Structure 1
Amino acid sequence: MAGTARHDREMAMQAKKNLSNCTDPIEKLRLQCLSRGSAGIKGLGRAFRIMDDDGSKNLDFKEFLKGLHDYGLVIGKEEAEALFSQFDKNGNGTIDFDEFLVTLRPPMSNARKDVIMQAFRKLDKTGDGIVTIEDLRGVYNAKHHPKYQNGEWTEDQVFRIFLDNFDSPYDKDGQVTAEEFTNYYTGVSASVDTDVYFITMMKNAWKL
């Protein structure tokens, strides 16, 4: 999956470049997240979850602002207010952060979503909606990994590092859900211009 790391770097560079002439607050926030790589949007979600003390999955403006700052996103108070009001659809002073994260994801065509889910289903051998080290055996060949070949890592370590790519960067539990997998590839997708190229890349990577 070396290609994935390359796409990640390309996407981060592209996002940083686009940031300089971006004026739309949502797009700006999206680019700031993407400039941290594929897991950037997921990381912001994690920052919000930590903040959500009462487990309501809703944030008021103060929590929202704190979440952005804790995650190190540079955004002025007025801009944050504009953003918040775009998400506070019913005007009750809180936003649903799952909805917020979905809006923040770069848009993707159905063809791309389909191929991502095909790859996920191939990995999820047990069909329980979660990919674990056990699922990877026989689907992903760890023996080609240079660190396995030179004896530095065991097969399980290679699997674990592989899963960590898709797992939330601050909450690595060795399990990957369909949502985490999609979030990851939404990031990668942002750096790939055409559906055809994205689908070919996925098919080659996962031998679909």
Structure 2
Amino acid sequence: MSIRAVVFDIGNVLIEWAPERYFDRVLGEERRRALFAEVDLHAMNDRIDQGEDFREVVYATAELYPDWAEHIRHWHDNWLELATPEIPGSVALLRRLRARGVPVFALTNFGIGTFDLAEPAYPFLTEFDRRYVSGHMKFIKPGHEIFEQVERDCGLPPESLLFTDDRDDNIATAAARGWQVHPFRGPEGWEDCLIGHGLLPARDAA
């Protein structure tokens, strides 16, 4: 079946998501490793991505770890510095698809509060035909439920959706549901995939 919509993950596909890099800069690598070993910050972030209040979750976690409290609060107070910069090649592909009339969706693990911060900083986030944001959906990837909600909402057959994501577990779930998939390793490979599906024209031979 031909592709009827292209589905983009956001983190590390359209926007670099590198909390460790931020904390390396603030704390140094050794202390950052100690922080992340003691405090499961990614599990904390999963709660935000499932719709819990951004500030409440971060500040409550900080209270549990007084030795790290100041730096845990950075996750909220300096969040945009954790999610930067955009990946220009991927943004260009999103816009090229739209210019050719290809429906483009977002499917992302993103909190309600964090997405509210990201949208004005990254205007391309407003350019999707449909946006599936986990904080509003109350489910996160790689669980099947969020993919099922996308299928039900858009009404398209799973095999007509082409999905890219940087995480192999998310790709595996989509593939198991019958979606066509591309493990994202960079804009160049993603462009090759889109060309291969006939969604974008081939590059000039030169």
Both structures adopt the same fold (TM-score exceeding 0.5): no
Q: TM-score range, shorter-chain basis?
A: 0.3 to 0.5
Q: Which has the higher helix share?
A: 1
TM-score (norm 2): 0.33
Q: Which has the higher strand share?
A: 2
TM-score (norm 1): 0.32
